[in-house]
Structure 1
C-alpha cells in the first residue's frame, strides 16, 4: 500500500506539471508567433516479480509476467510548430512567414536567435528592429526620406523615396530553418536559440525550396487551440482527482489494517 501512495503522489505531481503547461499555452493564446507545447509522460521503473516463460517448480511455464509499476514522470515538453493563422494588420512593417522558417535576430552580444514574430519597427537609424530594439539579421536600413516600403513574398525589400516614382531595392530578407525545430530552446520574448538537438540552421531566401514565403502587412497568430486546451485541462483535472482519490483510499486501507485485532 505504501507503493500505491508513492505512485499516486507521482501521478498528482505529473498532472500538476501538465496543468502548468496548459496554463502557459492559454496565457499566450494572443501572443504573436507563439507555438504551443504538449507534455510527454513516461512510465517509471518496474519491479519484475515473475518473468514470462520462466519454468516453475511444477514444470509449468507462465505465459505472462508479473510486474509492478512505480508511477509516471514528465520527461519532455514538445513544442508544436504548426502554422498559425495569418491576421491582416495593414502595417507595412508587420511580416508573417507562411510556411517553414524563422526570422533571424541579433542580440547585443552578437549571437543570433530566431523568432516567428514579425512585429518589426524602425529605430532612430531607420534599421528594422523588434519591439524590444533587437535588429533583424541581416541588417536592413531604410533611407530617412523613404515614403513607402514594399516587401515581396520572396523577401526583396524595396523603398520609394520622396520625389521619386520608381522603387529601389535596398536588401533582401533571409530565413533560417532547422532539421528539428522542436529542439529549439525558448528563451522568452518570442525568441528561440539553437541547441544540439535542433541542429544547425539552414539559411535561405523566402520562397526557396523548403522555406515559406513572407506576407507583408500580416502577423502570424498563436497556434493555440483554446477549445482543445480546455479539454486537456478537464482531462488533467480528472486525472489529478483520481490520483488524489487513490491517496485517500490507500490511507483508509492503512487505517483499517492498523485497527485490526487478533
Structure 2
C-alpha cells in the first residue's frame, strides 16, 4: 500500500494558526526570561553598591531603581495616602504612602512607610499611626512606583488621607503641587524614636525573577506548535492511505 499525503485547506489553516501562536508565545516567554535574567543581575549588582543619598537634586530613576537609599528630612504629615487592597498573611490592609521633605531643599520623595491592617468593622476607616516629628533619617530601597493592583474605572483624584488603589510620583506631584522625585522609597529602617506598637509592618516582597517558570512556559508553547504540525502531517498521510485502499 502506497502512502499518499492529501492536502486539506481547513486543517492546514488550523495548523498554521496553532504553530504561529505557539511560536509567538514561546518567543515572548523567552524574552521574558531574558528580561528576568537581566533583572536578577541588576538586583545583585545594585545590592552591593553603597546607599545612595537622596539630597533633592535631579535624579535618574532608571539608575536609582533598586538601589539602597538614605534620606534626611521630615514627613509631610498632612498628606498621607492609603493604598488599598494590599493583603498580608491573609489579612486585608493598606500600604501607608507619605511624602518626605528632604532637608534644606524644596523637594520631596514619596515613602512607603509600611503595611497597616484594616478595621474589619468599618471598611473605610483608615488606621492611625504616629508620624515621626522633626528631622529624621530613613533608609530604604528605591523603586519606580508602588506595586500596582487592578483598578476598575477611572481613578479618583488624590487628596490628603484618601484611600486609593494606586499612586505614583507623577500623579502625586500633580495633585499636591509638591516637587516630587521620580522614585518611591520602600522604607526598611525603623521609625525614630524606637518603634512603638502600631508601627507599620515593612515586609517588602522582592521583585519576581522566576526565570525557570518563563523557560518552562516557552517549552510548552513550542511543544504545542510542534505537535500541531506533526498532527497535521500524520493525519494527512493517514487520510491518503485510506483513500488509496
Same structural fold, with TM-score higher than 0.5 when normalized by the shorter chain: no
Give the TM interval when normalised to the shorter protein. Answer: 0.3 to 0.5
Q: Which has the higher helix share?
A: 2
Instruction: Return the TM-score normalized by structure 2.
Output: 0.41
Instruction: Return the TM-score normalized by structure 1.
Output: 0.39
Q: Which has the higher strand share?
A: 1
Question: Which has the bigger relative contact order, CA under 8 A and spacing at least 6?
Answer: 2
